[in-house]
Amino acid sequence: MSAILSTNPQLRPMRHEDLDEIMVVELSAYPYPWTEGIFRDCMRVGYSCWVMTEAQRLVGYGVMSMAVGECHVLNLCVRPECQGRGYGRILLRGLLDHARRHKVETAFLEVRPSNTPAVQLYYSEGFNEVGLRKRYYPADNGREDALVLARDITG
C-alpha cells in the first residue's frame, strides 16, 4: 500500500443501479472492457458481485463465481485515480473472505502478465502460478497470454 486510506471502504452487493457508474470505471480502467451486458448476466446467474464504496463513492468492484469448493475471480477493478492506495487488496480480501464463508477452498484467477501491479498484488496475497492460457486476452498486437493463478484459502 502506498498510502493510508482516509476512511473505511465498505463492500456491499452490486445492484443494477450501480451499472452506470461501474461502466464509467470499467471503460476508463481497461482497453478491452467488459460490456454492461456481461455484468448484468453475472448478476442474473447469481455470481458473487460486489462494489466497494468510500464516502458514498464507488471506488471498485469485483465479480466472482463459486462452485464445488472453488471460486474464480473474474473481474477485480479499482477506479484508475484510486489505484495504488490499497483498495485492490481490500477488495480482493473481501471477495476471498466471502468465498471462505461459503466453504470455498481454492481461489483461481487469470491476469495479464503485462499488468504488473495486479500480478504483484496477487503474488503478495499468496497466489501462485498454476498455468498459462495462450492467447487468452485481446491485445493491440493480436492476443496476450494469461497467467492462471491459484491460492488455497482455507487457512
**Residues in the annotated binding site for acetyl-CoA:** 115
Contact criterion met (CB below 8 Å) for 72 and 108: yes
Contact criterion met (CB below 8 Å) for 81 and 62: no
- Binding-site residue positions: 115
Positive or negative: CA dihedral 141, 37, 25, 4:
negative
| Residue from 110, 125, 129, 136 carrying the catalytic annotation | 110
| Residue from 47, 61, 87, 122 carrying the catalytic annotation | 122
In order, the DSSP letters of 56-78 are TEEEEEEEEEEETTEEEEEEEEE
Contact criterion met (CB below 8 Å) for 149 and 127: yes
DSSP one-letter code for 46: T
The cell numbers describing 62, all together, are: 469485483
Is 122 one of the catalytic residues? yes
Q: Which residues are catalytic?
A: 110, 122
